[in-house]
Amino acid sequence: MKIIIHGGFFSESSQSLETKIAKQNALKQVVSNSYEFLKTHTALETIVYAVEQLENDELFNAGIGSQIQSDGKIRMSASMMDGKSTKFSGVVNIENVKNPIRVAEKLFGTVDRVLGGEGATTFAHSNKFEVFNPEIPQRRKEYEAKLGTKSMGTVGCVALDAQGNIAAATSTGGKGFEVPGRISDSATTAGNYATMHCGVSCTGIGEDIVSTAVATKIVTRVSDGFTIEKAFEKTFTELKEIDGFAGAIAIDHKGNIYHQDSHPSMVFASYDGKTLEVFE
């Protein structure tokens, strides 16, 4: 059993040491809880469990604490993928829910598994997800000052369970100040992808992640026989060619945990039952 989670990027220039320590502690807590959970649950159940906790923590830009778009509204995106069945489900630009990843989970068992905008919000509210405003005062202040946080905090998780199954989930409040209707990578296979060979969750600038198809390429390369190191190396070289900004976390079927970012520093934590690694 293995697990890795991320909480987007951390910028030394725009965030305090206090915030860094708070993020490290939050990630340590979530990765430990989720590893415990993984002992008695599948990888698919665990990625949802981990991402829900990160959505509930306002330190991160997903669920509560999401960024505000240019028209003053919050629209969130989340997705999950099961490596064994290669089923993908997600919500794009959903509004007024607490946990977008739980809505993606609800969609997982349905036929129309990726819903966007009004359709996603209506689906959630008609399936007993409470009407919830995820805005926090700090984000409104940043929005009014047109500052943005300058550090993105999308969240994600990849897990490998005791049966050898891999799953990945990602959730985001977006870039902040984006044009309404802009689509993040987080609920696409460029930002979140898994097969029985590998799972990847990304963070960074959605447009760059989609252009390079980061998660899809890494996972496909591992599935085609690349080592996880080589799959990351080739994909991040391609990302560099477009001067892209992204980070990715991954686990392969052999239990190798891997992560890389194009710029310092992606916020992540991993646990393999022995060593808990957290970003510095």
- Give the catalytic positions in this structure: 154
Q: Which residues inside 154-173 make contact with ligand ASP, applying CB under 6 A? A: 154, 172
Which one, of 261, 104, 120, lies nearest residue 169 by Cα? 104
Among 206, 219, 226, 228, binds ligand ASP (CB under 6 A): 206
Instruction: Say what angle helices 214-223 and 228-241 make with each other, to 10 degrees.
Output: 150
- In the beta sheet, which residues pair with residue 156? 6, 170
Q: Of 1 and 205, which has the nearer Cβ to ligand ASP?
A: 205
Dihedrals phi, psi of 114, to nearest 5 degrees: -125, 115
Buried b (16+ CB within 10 A) or exposed e, 14-46: ebeeeebeebbebbbebbeebbebbeebbbbbb
Count, residues near ligand ASP per rule CB under 6 A: 14
Rule CB under 6 A: say whether 8 interacts with ligand ASP: yes
Tokens standing for residue 248:
């990715």
Q: Which of 134, 174, 199, 244 touches ligand ASP by CB under 6 A?
A: 174
Q: Which is nearer to ligand ASP, 203 or 220 (CB)?
A: 203
Minimum CB separation of residue 24 from ligand ASP in Å reads 18
Segment 35-64, which members bind ligand ASP (CB under 6 A)? 61
Helices 43-55 & 100-108 angle (0-180, nearest 10) = 160
Residues 207-246 that bind ligand ASP (CB under 6 A): none
Secondary structure (3-state) at 76 = strand
| The only residue of 2, 23, 175, 217 in contact with ligand ASP, by rule CB under 6 A | 175
At its nearest, how many Å lie between ligand ASP and the CB of residue 261? Answer: 11
Of 65 and 204, the one with the shorter C-beta distance to ligand ASP is 204
Burial of 237 (0-12, 13-18, 19+ CB in 10 A): exposed
Shortest gap between Cβ of 259 and ligand ASP (angstroms)? 14
Residues 186-205 that bind ligand ASP (CB under 6 A): 186, 203-205
CA–CA gap between residue 89 and residue 73 (Å, rounded): 24
Q: Report yes or no: 154 and 61 within 8 Å, Cβ to Cβ.
A: yes
User: Using omega within 30 degrees of 0 as the cis cutoff, is the peptide bond preceding 265 cis?
Assistant: yes
Query: In this chain, which of 57, 105, 142, 185 binds ligand ASP, going by CB under 6 A?
Result: 185
Between 199 and 204, name the residue whose CB sits nearer to ligand ASP.
204
Q: Which is nearer to ligand ASP, 99 or 171 (CB)?
A: 171
Q: Which residues, 6+ apart, have CB-to-CB distance to 91 below 8 Å?
A: 76, 77, 78, 79, 100, 103, 104, 107, 114, 115, 116, 120, 124, 187
Least distance (Å) between residue 214 CB and ligand ASP: 10
In the complex with ligand ASP, the residue whose CB is nearer, 48 or 214, is 214
Interface with ligand ASP (CB under 6 A)? 8, 61, 152, 154, 172, 174-175, 184-186, 203-206
